[in-house]
Amino acid sequence: MTLEILTSANLAPVRHGFFTRAGGASSGIFAGLNCGFGSSDHGAVVRLNRAMVAEAMGVEAAKLTGVHQVHSAAVVHVTSDTVADWPKADAMVTADAGIALSVLAADCAPVLFADAAAGVIGAAHCGWRGAFYGVLGSTVTAMRALGADRIRATIGPCISWQAYEVGPEFFDRFRDEASEFARFFVLGQNGRFRFDLPGFCLARLRDHGVDAYWMGLCTYSDEAHFFSCRRATHRSEADYGRGISAICL
């Protein structure tokens, strides 16, 4: 089963990958490379999928680490001693070689960070709550604490504004926080809006001095390659797969 791995020149030469759902051992609504233990997929199959990802990243399966994602701004510093901890957080940073930081997403934005010269990397799971509460800035701050200076980041496949319809209360929350945030919304029908998650993430990263790029790939609209929580919800499906993105020194 061949995995499909998308890469970004903005992160070169650091080893990384935004994995599509291609390959993998899952079936049914999870067909392909479902890497989410939080899904109702068979745990043994998810472990097999993650082992394939670890092999593709060139690390031991136990060194493909992550966090219990809770849509927060929390970031943790991962070391060889804490690689197995998996705390509740939504971002990780490390300066240790041989550890693959991974995040899961199925419409939320997976964001990978690197300062190759400083030998510091990061990974963040960024939905609207994480973006709103500052997970990207937290990740940048944590990387700089480890010596990073010129940080580059790439936003992987996530839901695009064309597919992200939200209610007026959602728009009000952002506008009330900062009037400039209104520019990330497009007025739709019946008083509803469409939210530009990748655009908002790009702006937050650039506000923190990060050279940032979005791959321009929408998870909702490309079922052949990506899982999507919103697409599954619209179809009244019982669950959905989780895609994985990873980075390693």
Please say whether the structural domain 14-160+196-243 has been given the CATH code 3.60.140.10: yes
Three-state DSSP class for residue 88: strand
The full set of domain ranges for the chain reads 14-160+196-243
CA 176 – CA 137 distance, rounded (Å): 20
- Indicate the SS3 state at residue 176: helix
β-strand pairing of 100-105 with 64-65: parallel
pLDDT reported for residue 205? 98
Strand partners, 170: none
Rounded Cα–Cα distance for residues 7 and 2 (Å): 16
Which residues have a Cβ under 8 Å from the Cβ of 2 and sit 6 or more positions away? 22, 23
Helix, strand, coil percentages for the chain (3-state, nearest 5)? 30, 25, 45
Tokens at 69, concatenated: 């994602």
Local confidence band at 188 (pLDDT 50, 70, 90 cut-offs): confident
Overall pTM > 0.75: yes
H runs (alpha helix) in 41-134: 43-57, 128-133
pLDDT at 1 over 80: no
Q: Would you say residue 210 has pLDDT above 80?
A: yes
Q: Does position 13 have pLDDT exceeding 80, yes or no?
A: yes
Give CA–CA dist 108/86, Å, rounded. 19
